């Protein structure tokens, strides 16, 4: 069986200033341990959330992947959020997709309206124009009509809105189980094989 060429392409991961930093960190760990190359960028607000929720101190302008622990065989390429010279700012730089997790409503609104004031929104705009997979993971509640309309706009433009809403049918027994449920769904959209959670009608192992 021939290998999927998409599996050789890097994945872009952006963390922004919404609650739910644990989803992004776990996703980074899973992708790296799967041997994937990840281009990582974090907004200033995203760094603040990492500090508040996970007690992780990172500098968006000088990211060090070792801050996230042992990431296994994957390669992590870090970019400052204002570095428009980064490869991911151009459509000529090929990727297997991009994830914004957690995705703040401010970032969602910028993407919905094509406003590219930083590397995160520029890279997202690139993925839309190149018709590549763009997965946005919001965790706001409740949602205003503005939020809903922005979600509809990015969906029409080709993005996938994947709310951080874990299910319960897999009978979670820990916070980690709930996190893995959402990360599993993100990986499924990226085409990254995983056995993070029990699937409906199946088992965690299968």
**Domain membership flag for residue 41:** yes
Which residues is 77 bridged to in the sheet?
39
**Per-chain mean pLDDT for the chain:** 93
In a domain, 195, yes or no: no
For residue 100, name the pLDDT band (cuts at 50, 70, 90): very high
Residue 204: inside a domain: no
Helix (H) or strand (E) holding 11: strand 11-15
Question: Is 36 a domain residue?
Answer: yes
Residue-wise pLDDT for 109-163, tens only, equals: 999 999 999 999 999 999 999 999 999 999 999 999 999 999 999 999 999 999 9
- Alpha-carbon distance 123 to 14, whole Å? 9
Indicate the pLDDT class of residue 73, thresholds 50, 70 and 90: confident
Residue 133 within any structural domain of the chain: yes
* Res. 194 pLDDT band, cuts 50 70 90: confident
The per-residue pLDDT for range 41-72, each reduced to its tens digit, is 999 999 999 999 999 999 999 999 989 988 98
Give me the domain span that covers residue 142.
Answer: 5-190
- Position 4 scores a pLDDT of 57
Domain count, the chain: 1
Q: Is 206 within a domain?
A: no
Phi/psi for 9 (5° steps) reads -85, 150
Q: How far is it, in rounded angstroms, from Cα 41 to Cα 60?
A: 7
Q: What pTM was computed for the model?
A: 0.93
CB of 169 closer than 8 Å to CB of 178: no
């Amino acid at each position: 069986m021939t290998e999927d060429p998409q599996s050789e392409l890097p994945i872009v991961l952006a963390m922004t200033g919404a609650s739910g930093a644990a989803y992004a960190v776990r996703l980074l760990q899973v992708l790296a341990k799967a041997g994937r190359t990840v281009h990582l960028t974090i907004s200033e607000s995203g760094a603040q959330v990492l500090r508040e929720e996970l007690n992780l101190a990172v500098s968006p302008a000088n990211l060090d992947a070792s801050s996230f622990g042992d990431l296994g065989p994957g390669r992590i390429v870090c970019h400052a959020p204002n570095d428009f010279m980064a490869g991911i700012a151009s459509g000529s730089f090929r990727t297997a997709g991009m994830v914004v997790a957690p995705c703040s409503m401010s970032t969602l609104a910028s993407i919905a309206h094509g406003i590219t004031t930083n590397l995160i929104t520029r890279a997202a705009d690139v993925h839309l124009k190149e018709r590549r997979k763009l997965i946005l993971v919001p965790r706001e509640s409740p949602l205003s009509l503005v939020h809903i309309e922005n979600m509809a706009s990015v969906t029409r433009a080709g993005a996938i809105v994947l709310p951080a809403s874990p299910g319960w049918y897999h009978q979670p027994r820990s916070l980690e189980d709930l996190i893995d449920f959402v990360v599993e769904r993100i990986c499924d959209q990226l085409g990254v094989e995983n056995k993070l959670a029990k699937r409906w009608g199946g088992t965690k192992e299968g």
